Structure 1
Amino acid sequence: MAGKDTPTALGLDFGTTNTVVALADGNGGSDLVEFSAPGGGTDAVFRSALCFWEDEKGWNGIAHEAGPWAIEEYLQSSLDSRFVQSFKSVAASPLFERALIFNRPFRFEDLGRLFLQKLVKHAGGRLDQRPRRVIVGRPVEYAGARPDAALARQRYDLMLDAFGVELHYVYEPLGAAHSYATRLTSSATILVADFGGGTTDFSIVSVAAAGAAQRCVPLASAGVGIAGDRFDQRIVSQLILPLLGKGGSYRSFGKLLEIPGGYFADFADWSRLAMMRNRRTLDELRRLQRDAVDPAPIGRMIALIEHEQGFPLYDAVGRLKRELSSAPHAEFRFSSEGVEIAAEVRRDAFEQWIAADLRRIEAAMDQALARAALPADRIDRVFLTGGSSLIPAIRAIFTRRFGEERIASGGELTSIAHGLALIGEADNLDQWVV
């Protein structure tokens, strides 16, 4: 039973890269939940990651940690653990049934429940009392090939079945729109662009002047399964995969064949790379190495997988991407298990690598405008949120289309959770949920 201090609503932004939680304060605002961090201190941003290791006292013989604690555990014992992140990206995939971790099967909802258990544990008691409503952000379009939104909803429901009494789903950019509306005093038509780890989503919202009984009215939304993780994949494809055998050949029954691209597609996708450390995949790669014209590159791939080097590799990729957001060039450095990379990368080269992705993102924005039956000049304000909104090539799309004076940003990692909690207190909840 809810006590007098129980929040009325909780906003949950379960992201591909990070998770943020906000609690409605009952006075038209919301407070971010702070989570404990290794080494002391707290942070409102909780990494969407899990680390597993064998322990007879753990669930199904396996112990686990989540968030920054998962990273800490992995760095201390990488060879004896399994590190998983970006698992949200398979939520809508009918091809994903379960992941084998230490030969135990984990469904998506299993991973999600274990993640939330630790998230609650590290919240310092602020999530011990369940609110009346839990408002969960979801992308407009899920990531992956042929995503199944109904399947994702089913998996989310199972993941969250113990997290709240009333469970509602709202498009993530609508949460950000509600948050941004608190900054405005006059009426406006706003376009919100949310750049996450797995998806880019747009919503157009009509905002009434401050004091109106109903401030926000959603007009249209659109999205595409392309965002920060895809940009990481482009960097990996350009800088890493050529050193791991991509484009190479192997001999089979007297024929010279190209090494199958599926291994490289998995390696370039963090959610799948984490699952490549299994006996079947490694045995297949060793057979390829034996028959390869040049076996050394495949040997490097095997070494990176066996020695759990996915996290440091993608950490270096993310660091490069962030540095290119503030400088015209940056140096990429990675050294481990026979793979040595030191490359100067120019921002314009990176922008060429992601050019096709940027066109699809802009097309999704045009789709949102078309659904709202509004030309670009009818948009009064543009709010950019999410980590990839800081990439200059992303911002340039909106500067070109709307002008710098109409663009606002801020709260790149927290605005969605803040707005979702505010929506949770709305009387007219039906117009927001999907």
Structure 2
Amino acid sequence: MARTSPPLSIGIDFGTTNTVVALAGGDGPAEAVTFRHGDADLKGFVTALCYWQERSGGKLTNRVEGGPFAMDQLMAGGGAQRFIQSFKSFAASASFKDTRIFGQTTRFEDLLVAFIQTLQRHAGRDLGFASARVQIGRPVRFAGGNPDEALAMQRYRAAFGRLGLDAARYVYEPVGAAFFYARALDRDATVLVADFGGGTSDFSVMRFTRRDGRLAAEPLSHAGIGIAGDSFDYRIVEAMVSPALGKGSDYRSLDKLLTVPNRYYANLARWHQLAMMKSNGDLAGLRDLEKVAVEPDKLRRFIDIIDYDLGLALYRAVSDAKVTLSAADAAEFRFAAEDVAITGRITRADFEAWIAADVARIGATVDEALARAGVRESEIDRVFLTGGTSFVPAIRRLFTDRFDEARLTHGDQFESIAYGLALIGREPDAERWAA
């Protein structure tokens, strides 16, 4: 009798910065879906959307692109555009009900559906969502000051349901990473998994055992916090960029000197919201303030960054400086575009002072995960770190101070979660891994 092939299993790691989709069929390894962009095959699809309008036959038609192709459209310019990045950060926000894009009300679910549809189109093949076992990653704690987990999951289910994925399983992201890592274990182990994303840092303590040749796992605890790579970017923006754009400066109102409201710079620091300043009244407010500002050139720089859609280039400069500081004691911050130029030197000591409170809160969350699991640091056999922020020296020290270097290991910083999610779907007890 012919052997029946197991159904295709798909893992979707919908990330704040990048999204990765992995496929696992039969008994082979999981493989990431690649996206051809220029001369490169990309495994990560940037979590971004660009909306614009095209005129055809005298009629305006709304268009949308996703991933790196959204960035291409943004850089090409020409006409009105709305660029939205890292919109996963809105998922658990009750204050974010919708946004207006060319007169149409657009909810979080609409953004997510449009994004996944563009991802599928650029995959160059039918991903087989309808007939596959699908596991979707979710953070232990969603990003935001007061995240509403029930609301976020309601939005996830509504969006993925519209894509035909009503039966999809939702798995904590560090659990996906843990499953991928644990396949290489040659003995029973208690493992702390630390997953550093763009918007959240998530931790799981898992007990792995081998039974009859199969991997078995017992989740002991989960903990998470809405602080991660984007938060560290925020600290650089706050210290290096915002003052050059007028934060803390004054404007004249009748016979008084008043300080430019900080709320404009909160929008700047939350870089995924920068594009929305064109439509929410903030840009008009900055134009009015420029006319009465004591240092109008600074506000002019801020206005130009919004007007010319320079947010993407600005945050690339911020990210480049952060990456440099992971390997060097200092970095030269340089941003120049249109008529805007911001430069300065950042030492690692400066950067670590700026992020010290964030690192302390991440450390407290690690302690929370251990306490919930009822295990001591000495009882953790292995620590599995994944995500680009795990290479920041201050984060690395956070773990070497608690666990000796020999217990630490790194996974693929982009694909390990998606691989693990896809592999979980092949398990006969896959439902046990769901959040």
User: TM-score of the superposition, structure 2-length normalised?
Assistant: 0.94
Q: Secondary structure at the match of 1:276?
A: helix
Return the letter of the residue paired with 2:87. Answer: F
Q: CA deviation at 1:288?
A: 1.6
- Once residues 23 and 294 of structure 2 are traced to their aligned partners in structure 1, the CA distance between those partners, rounded to angstroms, is 58
- Once residues 364 and 160 of structure 2 are traced to their aligned partners in structure 1, the CA distance between those partners, rounded to angstroms, is 33
Spell out, residue by residue over 1:1-51, the C-alpha distance to the aligned partner (whole angstroms, 9 max, x if none). Answer: xxx8894321100000000011222326422211222x1342211111111
Q: Secondary structure at the match of 1:354?
A: helix
Q: Secondary structure at the match of 2:31?
A: strand
Tell me the equivalent position of 1:170: 171
Determine whether 1:17 maps to 2:17: yes
Tell me the equivalent position of 1:185: 186
Return the letter of the residue paired with 1:137. Answer: G
Equivalent runs, 1:261-410 vs 2, <5 Å:
261-278=262-279, 280-410=281-411
Contact 1:113 1:159 in 2 (8 A): yes
User: Relative to structure 1, is the Cα distance of residues 6 and 111 closer, same or farther in structure 2, using a 3 angstrom cutoff?
Assistant: farther
- Once residues 5 and 93 of structure 1 are traced to their aligned partners in structure 2, the CA distance between those partners, rounded to angstroms, is 42
- Once residues 402 and 131 of structure 1 are traced to their aligned partners in structure 2, the CA distance between those partners, rounded to angstroms, is 43
Equivalent runs, 1:145-160 vs 2, <5 Å:
145-160=145-160
- Once residues 223 and 273 of structure 1 are traced to their aligned partners in structure 2, the CA distance between those partners, rounded to angstroms, is 26
Q: Secondary structure at the match of 2:96?
A: coil
Contact 1:6 1:131 in 2 (8 A): no
Q: Secondary structure at the match of 2:210?
A: coil
Q: Secondary structure at the match of 2:277?
A: coil
Determine whether 1:66 maps to 2:66: yes
Equivalent runs, 1:193-272 vs 2, <5 Å:
193-209=194-210, 211-272=212-273
Q: Secondary structure at the match of 1:198?
A: coil
Return the letter of the residue paired with 1:309. Answer: L
- Once residues 172 and 336 of structure 1 are traced to their aligned partners in structure 2, the CA distance between those partners, rounded to angstroms, is 37
Spell out, residue by residue over 1:140-194, the C-alpha distance to the aligned partner (whole angstroms, 9 max, x if none). Answer: 1111111111111111112211143511111100000000001111111000000
5+ residue gaps, structure 2, are: none
Spell out, residue by residue over 1:324-349, the C-alpha distance to the aligned partner (whole angstroms, 9 max, x if none). Answer: 11222221111124332222221121
Determine whether 1:83 maps to 2:89: no
Q: Secondary structure at the match of 2:141?
A: coil
Supply the RMSD in Å over aligned alpha carbons.
2.0
User: Relative to structure 1, is the Cα distance of residues 78 and 354 closer, same or farther in structure 2, using a 3 angstrom cutoff?
Assistant: farther
Tell me the equivalent position of 1:42: 41
5+ residue gaps, structure 1, are: none
Contact 1:193 1:384 in 2 (8 A): yes
Q: CA deviation at 1:100?
A: 2.6
User: Relative to structure 1, is the Cα distance of residues 262 and 6 closer, same or farther in structure 2, using a 3 angstrom cutoff?
Assistant: farther
User: Relative to structure 1, is the Cα distance of residues 9 and 165 closer, same or farther in structure 2, using a 3 angstrom cutoff?
Assistant: farther
Q: Secondary structure at the match of 1:93?
A: coil
- Once residues 296 and 372 of structure 1 are traced to their aligned partners in structure 2, the CA distance between those partners, rounded to angstroms, is 54
Return the letter of the residue paired with 2:368. Answer: Q
Q: CA deviation at 1:213?
A: 3.7
* Residues matched between the structures, number: 429
Identity rate, percent: 47
Return the letter of the residue paired with 2:44. Answer: V
Return the letter of the residue paired with 2:311. Answer: G
Q: Secondary structure at the match of 1:36?
A: strand
Contact 1:175 1:420 in 2 (8 A): yes
Q: CA deviation at 1:71?
A: 1.5
Moved more, 154-163 or 176-185: 154-163
Moved more, 94-103 or 325-334: 94-103
Tell me the equivalent position of 1:415: 416
- Once residues 40 and 258 of structure 2 are traced to their aligned partners in structure 1, the CA distance between those partners, rounded to angstroms, is 54
Show structure 1 runs of 4+ deviating over 6 A.
Answer: none
Q: CA deviation at 1:74?
A: 1.6
Tell me the equivalent position of 2:26: 26
Moved more, 294-303 or 378-387: 294-303
Contact 1:6 1:130 in 2 (8 A): no
Spell out, residue by residue over 1:286-315, the C-alpha distance to the aligned partner (whole angstroms, 9 max, x if none). Answer: 222223232221122111111111010001
Contact 2:129 2:164 in 1 (8 A): no
- Once residues 231 and 29 of structure 1 are traced to their aligned partners in structure 2, the CA distance between those partners, rounded to angstroms, is 34
